[in-house]
Amino acid sequence: MHKLVSVITPTFNCGAYILETIRSVQAQTFDNWEMIIADDCSADDTKEIVGQACEKDPRIKYVRLKTNSGAAVARTEAMKLAKGNYMAFLDSDDLWKPEKLEKQLAFMEANRYPFTATAYEKIDESGRKLNKIVNVIDRTSYNRLLLDCPIGNSTVMYDVDKMGKFEVPNIKKRNDDALWLKMLKQEKYIYGLHEVLMEYRVRPNSISSNKLSLVKYHWKLYREIEHLSVLRSAFHIVVWGALKIFHIK
């Protein structure tokens, strides 16, 4: 029997996209998965759409937070409920390629890698390809991740049996980076699979689209969560800003 993969999907007002995201999981060539969707009090039709999906496919599970608490809390809630040997992360507007789980699991098991990510490509709101591929590096360390995150959140998978469960640091933005940094204190590297296995949806009004507003969250991440010095925190923000301005990433 194949090991179980828990797909972790926090969501908030993503009714326009979440069914397509669910279908990309249902289309996987590896089918021993559960998908846990944690709804951060959506005010749109997310609950109805996911509810219908749950009725048709018992592998899909839905939980709604009691109060609007942010993506970090929703992600943590889904992770608490997960029963899988592996966890894979998928945001509620992103899409997986059909062989994503199968290929990434094979990569992990063949190399005994407990913590991995893949390359991905960008699509627009309507799903059209933007002809922009973001590759992944062979291995990402804690210090490399501090400089700039080369990891697509919806590409990450890790071995729960080896690494255990984690609580996502509770910051509104960049909580995925904060989680990877936390995990990299236990496991030395995130290993990269150089194959495009995810489609990242670029939305103009998304929480991560305003780069300027992210500066304060980077500062919070470096100072309050990672407890870096003022000088080192400032250095990393300057480096991050330069990478964004010159589109080095």
Q: How many CB atoms lie within 10 A of CB 101?
A: 24
- What fold, for 5-204? Spore Coat Polysaccharide Biosynthesis Protein SpsA; Chain A (3.90.550)
Q: Which two tokens stand for residue 102?
A: 């199968």
Check residues 237 and 179 and name the one with the higher pLDDT: 179
Asked if the model's pLDDT at residue 106 lies above 70, the reply is yes
| CA separation for the pair 75, 229 (Å, rounded) | 28
3-state secondary structure the chain: CCCCEEEEEEECCCCCCHHHHHHHHHCCCCCCEEEEEEECCCCCCHHHHHHHHHHHCCCEEEEECCCCCCHHHHHHHHHHHCCCCEEEECCCCCEECCCHHHHHHHHHHHHCCCEEEEEEEEECCCCCEEEEEECCCCEECHHHHHHCCCCCHHHCEEEHHHHCCCCCCCCCCCHHHHHHHHHHCCCCCEEEEEEEEEEEECCCCCCCCCHHHHHHHHHHHHHHHCCCCHHHHHHHHHHHHHHHHCCCC
Q: How many CB atoms lie within 10 A of CB 171?
A: 18
Distances (CA, A) of 193 to 24, 29, 103, 206: 19, 18, 9, 27
Q: What is the pLDDT of residues 158-206, one digit of tens each?
A: 999 999 999 998 776 778 888 999 999 999 999 999 999 999 999 776 5
How buried is residue 25: exposed, middle or buried, by Cβ count under 10 Å (0-12/13-18/19+)?
buried
- Of 110, 121, 109, 196, the closest CA to residue 159 belongs to 109
- The ranges of the chain annotated as CATH 3.90.550.10 are 5-204
Q: What is the pLDDT of residues 212-234, one digit of tens each?
A: 666 766 666 776 676 777 777 67
Asked if the model's pLDDT at residue 147 lies above 90, the reply is no
**What local confidence, expressed as pLDDT, does residue 119 receive?**
97
**What local confidence, expressed as pLDDT, does residue 209 receive?**
47
**What local confidence, expressed as pLDDT, does residue 243 receive?**
62
